[in-house]
Amino acid sequence: MMVLASLTLPWPAKAMDNTLRAGLLKLDPETRLEQRCDAEVLDRISHDDHKFKADRVVAYAFATPQMSADAIKSPGAAFRSKGQWYRLKFKCQTAPDHMQVLQFRYKIGDEIPETDWSKYNLYD
């Protein structure tokens, strides 16, 4: 079973600044794909809907993501915003070097009750 790491970014993903770029380049290709797509999730959600300030994403919360060489489909993800977790589905395709996102789609689902957080390995 593949385990994807959750990601917390202290910087805006959209900037793709030197710190983010340098960090991604140090990762193996598969991990870079995961982390680049996680960064895109955080950036897009916060940018597209200002009621959210996404700061963490867990791609595997409710289902194991499907991965290919340059893409991730995560039908059972979750993200955290302002201390609350929400269900999420996303598809992310990157360039072969996994540094540029070529296609990205997502759908925000329902708020996840705090009583369920431990069951899905979600945390404060």
CA distance 4 to 7: 9
Q: Where are the domains of the chain?
A: 28-118
Quote the mean pLDDT of the chain: 86
Beta carbons within 8 Å of 79's beta carbon, 6+ residues apart: 41, 42, 45, 52, 54, 56, 57, 58, 85, 86, 88, 108
**CATH 3.30.420.590 is right for the domain spanning 28-118:** no
The pLDDT tens digits of the residues spanning 50-104 come to: 899 999 999 999 999 999 999 999 999 999 999 999 999 999 999 999 999 999 9
Within 10 A of 113 (CB to CB), how many other CB atoms are there? 10
3-state secondary structure of 39: helix
